Amino acid sequence: MRRLGDVANRFLFENERVRVWQMDLAPGESSDFHEHTLPYVLCILEGESIDADLEDGRTLHIPVEPGRVFFVPPGSRETAVNRSKVRFREILVELKG
């Protein structure tokens, strides 16, 4: 079994309701392999696409643009990979209940 890391590369804030992270990936960089154990809201700050390399070997290619917001339900295990030619940045808000 692969070791799980953080859902993003910079922790920003936590209280009893949310945990907030920032993901910042230069072209070619990837996140830790991680699991979304709770629902997340992702707010795109910068970038044109991000790939999610899933635990089962599939890759999801996700076009993005600054200002877009995504909801991610719990349960996925993945590595985020920036295969584009521009920096990718997002804020991740983990909803604790």
CATH code (residue 77): 2.60.120.10
In degrees rounded to 5, what are phi and psi of residue 18? -140, 160
Q: pLDDT band at residue 97, thresholds of 50, 70 and 90?
A: confident
Q: How many CB atoms lie within 10 A of CB 88?
A: 25
Inside any domain, residue 5: no
Inside any domain, residue 16: yes
Q: What percent of the chain has pLDDT over 70?
A: 99
List, for residues 16-63, the tens digit of each pLDDT value.
999 999 999 999 999 999 998 999 999 999 999 999 999 999 999 999
What's the confidence (pLDDT) of residue 2?
Answer: 73
Q: How many CB atoms lie within 10 A of CB 65?
A: 10
Range of the domain at 37: 10-95
Inside any domain, residue 3: no
pTM as predicted: 0.91
Q: Domain count of the chain?
A: 1
